[in-house]
Amino acid sequence: MNKYFDFSSKQIKFLLFLVVSALLLGSVQFIKHFATPSKNSPKFEVHIGDNTKKLTGIFMLDPNNAPADSLELLPGIGKVLADRIVVYRQHTQFKKEIDITDVRGIGPKLYEKIKPYLQVQKD
């Protein structure tokens, strides 16, 4: 008991629990509201350098020896295309990065997306 309110210790603990819970839930809602962009949020374009620089991917893969699960990390390459690449390289080695377009399903558009991530090792 305290001199201002006539609450028991259990009631004080329960009120403290309610206050802490309300603060936590309020914080989560506040963060959720401001952390996720809405449909009306402005779109920001990011430009890195000028068009004369060649940008490379974060990781580089050699299509001649990369495992199928690593090939699936490439943008636009799923399990089916990764398996096709593995089957294709059993018969023919890729000499240049562009040779990957010989695999059925990999055309010029997809090649442009995956080109920064490919690097054929020269013997």
Residues 5-38 pLDDT 10s: 788 888 889 999 999 999 999 999 888 877 776 6
d(CA 7, CA 89): 77
d(CA 74, CA 70): 8
Residue recorded with tokens 């490919």: 118
> What is the pLDDT, as a whole number, of residue 8?
83
> What is the pLDDT, as a whole number, of residue 61?
86
> What is the pLDDT, as a whole number, of residue 30?
87
> What is the pLDDT, as a whole number, of residue 43?
61
Phi and psi, residue 56, nearest 5°: -115, 160
Residues 65-119 pLDDT 10s: 889 988 998 888 999 999 999 999 999 999 999 999 999 999 999 999 888 888 8
> What is the pLDDT, as a whole number, of residue 86?
93
More confident of the two residues 44 and 41: 41
Model pTM above 0.95: no
pLDDT interval class at 122 (50, 70, 90) = confident
d(CA 98, CA 23): 57
Tokens of 24: 């936590």
d(CA 108, CA 114): 10
Phi and psi, residue 61, nearest 5°: -125, 140
